[in-house]
Structure 1
């Protein structure tokens, strides 16, 4: 039995186009996630330095002299 044009189009899409898109999507998501995590980590440490200027061991407990707001 011969392959029809529709079947060739479907096979081409499933075997060539779709896997490439999936790999690109996975890479794009990974890049986005790593950038987001880096920004979140930077913001976390910036925020922590405002809360506890010393060694940061108080885990968010204010000493009462914090006048950020």
Structure 2
């Protein structure tokens, strides 16, 4: 049995309130890991090409205000 299956079974056993707390915790945890990954990729220059492409599109009038 994998640890993912163990986690799935444990989540199934949670009460409604516990699932809500778990959901909130996991959303925060997942967002923090995503932010860390973006920061690492940006620092490593992995997003430079995408940024340059977006700026070029904007300069050519292919963007709009939100």
| Normalised TM-score (structure 1) | 0.46
Give the greater-gyration-radius structure (CA): 1
If asked which structure has higher relative contact order (CA below 8 Å, sep 6+), I would say 1
Higher helix share: 2
